[in-house]
Each structure stands twice: as structure tokens, then as C-alpha cells.
Amino acid sequence: MWEKCQSLQNDLVALRRRFHQIPELGEDLPETQALLCAELDKMGIPYKRNTLDSGVVALIEGGKSGKVVALRADMDGLPIAEATGLPFASRHEGRMHACGHDTHITMLLGAAKVLNENKADLKGTVKLIFQTAEETCTGSQIMLKEGVMENPHVDAVFGMHIGTIIDPSIAAGTVIVTPGCCMASYDHFVLRVTGKGCHGSTPEKGVDPIVVASNIVLALEEIVAREVPSTKAAVVTIGRIHGGIAYNAIPGEVEIEGTTRALEEDVRQYLGKRIGEIAAGIAKSYRAECAYEMIWGAPPVVNDEEMAKLAAGAAAKVLGESGVITSIPAPNMGGEDFAFYLRERPGAFMFLSSSNHEKHTDGPHHNPHFDVDEDVFWKGSAVFVSIVEDYLGK
């Protein structure tokens, strides 16, 4: 069945370019949803729109009863001004599909077309999940609130991410799927240091929040260096500091923002706890105050061993054994809200390389110049179809 995906390649490229032109942010994706639903209508696949966001869930019922397998694609873009110069570049100023979500929608629709046309041969049901807000880590949680894992009850779930996430040296068209943890947790913290503003010539009359913030930043670096075992991966990164309005004045407040990453939940929770404790302690020692907010994102992405093995075997049918990687030196420290689905059901999250130096598609994600090798689209669709064939049986 998966072999039929190759004939869709040109259609997939054209469809991806349409999605690429209309990037939208967060949970409200009206144009994206409209185009998606129009394509599902063309195929005659029934679907349901979410009530809480622009997510869509479609259903393909096989000719015989059996298990239910879910396939997921995310749909949101990023607040980045596109600089690719592509003829089909974003029409929405300041917004861009800089992480490949436009291709995820496209590849899942390609798989849907083939599966729907051959549904009489399927022993079970395929649930297609098109979610919003992966970038803000709320889309999968909204899907779960909407009951995506029930009616009918989902038995396994699979997802795929295109690009250069694992290693830009991996050839385009290669699938990477590993058992166990494959991506880190990702969380966002905000520290607001409050001191007492005064003129720069008389610092003794105030409480300098810039000095306090500087000491907090240095101290937070020591959590990973001195408190987390060296055998456990963890990251604490400060990405933004803001404070002050004049070169010769001490401000009243400084804001610090950063992110944490971990491969284990206990390490993740420990980082969150210690950031707050250290910041509060340092602020107090300088006669300042520090408000702490941890905006919890997604837990680590942990693949079920059996489902990862099944996905690897299904991908090998499409790409050959040399086209599938099942072991990498270490999990990726990026995050993905697909983790919430894997907390509910066994499944696997895969990566499809689109790295091609000659086509300039080996650059980083979340970048104004991000692009993908369009030649791999049919392979992504085919891997999804092959997984369904192997999981449900025929």
C-alpha cells in the first residue's frame, strides 16, 4: 500500500507550498484549518473540528474491525520574518513555517489519501490528529482535553518531525527512530528581580537589581555543573535579560527569562525547584526581592520500545535498512509536546531528515532561512502508511 505514495510526490510539493504561504501562530489557525478541511473533504474523509482551538481530528475506518492507531501532525508556525526568497514564501508578515509543520500536515494528508483509498483492506481504524500550538506546548494538551484518545479508543500513536534536528550530516530521506527517551523536556522560567531605583552617582541610596540579576545568572549556571550528576543530561539557559532605561540610572526592576531541558522527570523537577530557591536566596542577601514563575512545558519524549521497533521495521520497508537509524549517541535536547500523547498511549516519535547541502536545506530550525528538501515528502507519507499496515494488519 505504501508504494502508492510515490505517485503523490508532485501533489505533495504543491500542497506544502500552499500551506507554507499561510503560517499562523498558536491555537488560532483559521486559514490553515480551512485548507486542511478542504483537502479532507476532497478525499471524503470525515472529521471533527475542535471546540477549544483550530485542531482537527479525522477518522478512516477499515473494512474490518481491529485496533485504532493515531497519526499526528502539528500545524502552527513561528513569529519569524521569512528570508528564504522562495517564490512561495510566507504571505503573512513576520510569520513563517520555520520548523517544517507545513510539511507535517502535507505528509499526513498524503498518507491519509492512500489509506482512505485502500481502507477496505485495513483491519482497524486510523485516527488523524492535526493539532495546533506545538511551539507553545498547548496543542497536544488541548487535543487530550477534547478527548482525542477516546471515541474510538486509541491503542497506539505515532508522530514524525522533518528537518535537521538530530544531525545535519544525516542524508535527506533517512528516518531516525530510537527506543526510550529521544527528546528532552522543555520548560520556560521568568525571574523578576525588584530592587530600588536611584541615580547612578549614588548607588548606596538604592538596591541595584542589575547586580542582583547578574549574580543570579552566574549562580544558576552552577546547578548543572555542581548539583546534577554528570551522568544525567540537563540544561539551564538564560535567553533574555531586560532592565534599565538610562546609562546613568539604577533601575527598579530587571527581568530574566530562560529555559530548562532534562531527559528525566526527576531532574526536570529538581531544576525547577532550585532555580526558585537560588534566585530568592541571592535576592534576599542583596536586600532585593525576586518573583519566580515556572511555565511548565512538555515532559521528555519517551518512545515505547516495541512501538519504536515496529516503526523502524515499517520505515525500513520503504527506505531500506540503510535508510533507518535506530541508535544515536544521545537524545536530542530539543522538546516536543508529542510527549503528552506518549504519556497516555504507547507509541513512537520519529525524525525524517531533509538535510541536503546542495539544496541549502541543512540549516537550523527556527531560522529565517529554514527550508526542507521537498523530495522526501512521499517518503514521510509512505512511512506513515507502512506503520499502519504493520500495526493494524491487512
Q: Which among 80, 78, 36, 77 has a CA at the least distance from the CA of 57? A: 36
CATH: 3.30.70.360, 1.10.1200.10, 3.65.10.10, 3.40.50.300. Which one for 185-298?
Answer: 3.30.70.360
pLDDT of residue 338: 98
Backbone angles phi, psi at 49, to 5 degrees: -85, 140
Strands 249-250 and 347-353 turn out to be unpaired
Cell matching residue 227: 548539583
Alpha-carbon distance of 211 to 66, in angstroms, equals 63
Domain residue ranges in the chain? 2-184+300-392, 185-298
Say what the pTM is.
Answer: 0.95
Per-residue confidence (pLDDT) for residue 253, from 0 to 100: 98
Angle at 237 between CA 164 and CA 159, to 5 degrees: 35
Give the number of other Cβ atoms within 10 Å of residue 339's Cβ. 23
| Binding site listing for Mn(2+) | 99, 101, 135, 161, 366
Q: Which H/E stretch holds residue 341?
A: helix 339-344
Q: Which residues of 252-270 are buried (b: 16+ CB within 10 A; e: fewer)?
A: bbbebbbbbbbbbeebbeb
- Measured CA to CA, the distance from residue 333 to residue 17 in angstroms comes to 29
Peptide bond into 152 cis (omega under 30): yes
3-state secondary structure of 219: helix
Backbone angles phi, psi at 82, to 5 degrees: -70, 140
Annotated binding site: 99, 101, 135, 161, 366
C-alpha cell at 96: 513563517
Domain 2-184+300-392 has CATH 3.40.50.300: no
pLDDT of residue 30: 98
- Residue with C-alpha cell 481530528? 57
Compute the distance between CA of residue 59 and CA of residue 154 in angstroms, rounded to an integer: 11
- SS3 label, residue 325: strand
Ranges of residues in the chain whose predicted pLDDT is under 70: 394
- Which pLDDT belongs to residue 197? 98
pLDDT (tens digit per residue) in 236-279: 999 999 999 999 999 999 999 999 999 999 999 999 999 999 99
Strands (E), 47-144: 47-49, 56-61, 64-74, 123-131
pLDDT value at residue 394: 65
Q: What is the pLDDT of residue 19?
A: 98
Please report the sign of the dihedral spanned by the C-alpha atoms of residue 365, residue 181, residue 169, residue 233: positive
